[in-house]
Structures are given as C-alpha cells and as structure tokens.
Amino acid sequence: MTKKVLVAERLADAGLAVLRDKGYEVDVKLKMPPEELIAAIPAYDALIVRSATKVTREVIEAGKNLRIIGRAGVGVDNVDVEAATERGVIVCNAPTSNIVSAAEHTMALMLACARNVAQANASMHEGLWERTRFTGVELYEKTLAIFGLGRIGGLVAERARAFGMRLVGYDPYCSPERAEQLGVTLYDNVDAIVPLADFITVHLPKTKQTIGMFGPDQYARMKDGVILVNAARGGIYNVDSLADFLAAGKIGAVGLDVWENEPCTESPLHEFPNAILTPHLGASTKEAQLRAGVQTAEYVAAGLAGSIVPTAVNMAPVPPEVMDAVGPYVPACQMMGSMLAQIHGEVPQYLKLTAAGSLADADPSILVAGTVKGLLSYQGRATVTPVNADAVAQRHGIKVETQARSDADGYASTVAVMADGTEVACTRGDAAQTARLVSLLGYKIDIAPGRQSLIFEYVDAPGRMGTIGTILGEAGINITTMQIGAKPADRCALVYMNVEGEVDDAVLSRLRAEIPELKNLWYVKL
C-alpha cells in the first residue's frame, strides 16, 4: 500500500517533488483547524509542518499509522516530542536549513539598530532630511555578547568578528575548544557577562530555563545604551520590563524578530521608534525555504523507508559542532551492519562500535542505530529507528558496547564495528564523502564497496587471482575494482572485489571447488 504524507504548511515545490518521486502520495492541506487535523491524521504515515501547526499529544495519538513528523525548520517547539517518543514516532527537523539566513538577519537587525536605518528611512519617506538626528554607532571594536554558541550563534560570531567586534559568550554546552575556534571569550555566568556588552544577541532554544532569562535584574546590570537583538525564540527577553528600560534610555535600541505569541501585532515595544520589529523573518529567504523543504522531505522519505534519520530529535542529541561529521557516517554504519549480517550469518549477541578521530567526542547512539538497522533489516527482521534502536537490540538479545579513540590510524575519522568477533571498519575521507572500507576481518584494505561484492579469504599461493578471474570471466561477471589485504604471519590473503553481473550459486560452488586454499567466500549485496 502506498504510504501517505500530509503536508500541513507551505513547503517548497522541490520538497514535494522529492516525496512524489519516491512514490509517496502527498496531500497538501493548509491552515487546518486542530479538530480537522486530528480527524485527518489517522490516514497518514507522515506529517510535515512548519512553525504554525501545533502537533499535540491528541494529534499524535490519533495518528495510528503515523511513523514520522517532519518540521521544516530548526526548532520543534510546536511538536509534543515526548508523546511522539512514547509511540515510537520519529520527530525530525532541518537544523541547517535556515542557519545562514537567521545569522544574516541577526546582523541586519544589529546594523539597523546601530545606524537608525528604519527611522531614517521613515523620515526620508516623509520628505525630510535629518542627518544629525540619526547619528549612529559603529560595530567596530564594540563588545558583542552571544548567548548560545550553536550553529547560528557560531555563524554570527564569524560575521561579527569580520566587523572587528570583540566577542564574549555564554553557553554551558559549548566546549572551550569551540569557543576558542570562534574567537569568543567564554563566561559561565550570565550576570558576569551582561555589564561587558555593547551589543547582546541570543541564539537559545525555548526552554523553562531560557524563557524570561533576561528581565529587570539583567537589564539593570547592562551598559547604558546597550543594543539587544533576538532572532531566536520569543520570550527570552521579558518584553514588558524591556519596554520600561527602553523608555528610560538605559537600553539604546532593540531588534526583535520573534515573539512569545505569534502573530504579534501589538506589544509594549510597538510604540518605540528605536525598537526595530520584524514578523519572524529569520528563515524567510528563498534559499532557506528551498533547503528546509528539500531537507525535510528527504528525512521524512528516509524515515518512511525504514532508514535512519540523522536529524531525529527524540534520541540522544548530537552536539552541533560534530553533527556534520557524524551524519555522513549513518549510511556507512548501515552498510557495515548489512555486511556483517551477511558475513556472520546470524544475529550477533555482542556488538561493539568504536568511533575514532574527529568522531571521538560524538554521542555514538545515532551510529549504533545505523548499525543495528543494517544488521537486523537485511532480512527484514526489524524496522529500526533512532527512537527504538536500543529496545530492538535488547529484544534480539544484542548487547551493545561503544568506545571512543582519539587515534584513527592515520585517518581523520573512522568507525569500527565488531559483531561476535567479526570486524569491519570504514572512513569517509574524500571530498565526495564516499564510505571506504579500511579494515575487514583484521586485514587492512582501502576500497569503496559496490552494490555487489565478492570477498575471498584464502591461504596465499601463486595463481589464485588468475583462477578467480577466469571463473568470473567465463560466467560473464565483470570485476570493477579490487583490493588485496595480507597477513604475512599467517600466509593468508583477503580479496575484496566489486563485481557486475549475476553471481549465482553455481559460480560460488565452482569458486569453492577450484580454489583448494579457500578459507572463506562471501557474496555481499548492499
């Protein structure tokens, strides 16, 4: 039966095309009232929203066939993630889709506040010429305090540094190494940092700790004339007291793009000309809309196909600074899991995953999920998602262990998987991020696995490759690429061979019969 996707808010046409090209039935129904969404959702396998649609527990519990919820944007504040997790529904987002747009809008608000751009524009449209009235301040050599040094905060830091600003920051989850890389002096106390700043920008999620994080006490400690910007989440600045300090001149200007309750058409700030207010435009660029639509569609399609969704939020979080490194390894881990299932022949009882090099600091849960997916899904044993990977492994009696190593044996990063003593490791080192096997069964190799591969392990002897080539050639099987690994101490060799053409049982039987030194032969399909 064709899987159905409900798109409840506007999505880029390219994103809709991704889903339809993969054979999914897509219905676009905009501005659905909550009761209508609850009535409609039982018929759908996936739901895609932006920020306006509230995906409540009632919606999720009504979605009897619901497998994945895609949020075409960064935050998931409008989705009841806890309810989704309880029902095994993946919640994913597009965390990198609008980060450049949001960072640029932050800079736009900062510059507009500093140079009185909106006020001067309004004056000009009234036919006036008031140069002295709109004297501003430079960003150069001013101190910018950045609260939240994730992806967007990091991009703002890079751009502000180009303006010659001094950077200080607060983020309890940011490592000193990342702060140093961004050129930010890190503080661990909000009250200590606010008196230092000429400009303050926040890039924080909406949580119990961040709502109202800045109120009268914080405003009172700030420099006179400080400029505040928020293009992250509404409510981080207490707007009522902010208006009081703005009226008193303590705060020089404020640029707000987000609001605690949206749409917002009136607030205490609306009366102030030095409050630059925009209607949540941070992600409103053509480029961001396209990226959000396409990325979300691709992740939803992956979830519906039973594959791992790298941006699933209802799993152990991956730190932003390593997500770009970890994400590409997910399909590589699925590939290794599938290979181990075919080589090992049965579900292992013990699985050990080692992340090395630049992956050493990453939470390995997403890599484990990919590996378990490959192990168990090869013969349709289970559908594995990041939400249920641990439970599925336990159900199949697999004990999972993870470890990290700083040394990746000469590579920037590797992932190695051991399943009941059967070992495979890969890297993704080239510009195309192609997965390459670097070790198999203890043999050192370096090859990108193809869709069909033959793996030979034999006692090394002259003429063996000639025999193999002859048998495959006579069967019409073409060898595309090949790697040989050796264990000189054991006089053993391993040949990993990517092939094209039908490798049937007759070919495998002949190979086994005509190579007396053969220890193992596997035909692997990925």
Planar angle of CA 246, 100, 432, nearest 5 degrees: 165
Task: Kindly state the helix (H) or strand (E) to which residue 326 belongs, with its residue range.
Answer: helix 320-326
Active site (annotated) includes residue 280 = yes
CA distances from 14 to 18, 68, 225 (A): 6, 20, 45
Lay out the sheet containing 399-405: strands in order across.
399-405, 350-357, 413-419, 422-427, 436-440, 443-447
Look up residue 84 and give its two tokens. 């989704």
Task: Kindly state the helix (H) or strand (E) to which residue 201 belongs, with its residue range.
Answer: strand 199-202
Active site (annotated) includes residue 346 = no
* Rounded distance between C-alpha atoms, residue 90 and residue 304, angstroms: 10
Active site (annotated) includes residue 10 = no
CA distances from 522 to 3, 496, 503 (A): 35, 10, 11
Q: Are the C-beta atoms of 243 and 187 separated by less than 8 Å?
A: no
Q: How many CB atoms lie within 10 A of CB 115?
A: 17
Q: Are the C-beta atoms of 447 and 435 separated by less than 8 Å?
A: no
| Alpha helices for 354-425 (secondary structure H) | 365-377, 389-395
CA distances from 83 to 42, 61, 313, 330, 412 (A): 16, 8, 13, 25, 39
**Considering 10, 87, 280, 405, which one is annotated as catalytic?**
280
* Rounded distance between C-alpha atoms, residue 398 and residue 114, angstroms: 59
State CA 328 to chain mean position distance. Answer: 10
**Considering 233, 428, 436, 464, which one is annotated as catalytic?**
233
| DSSP secondary structure letter of residue 302 | H
DSSP letters for 147-195? E--SHHHHHHHHHHHHTT-EEEEE-TT--HHHHHHHT-EEES-HHHHGG
**Considering 262, 474, 500, 502, which one is annotated as catalytic?**
262
Catalytic residue set: 233, 262, 280
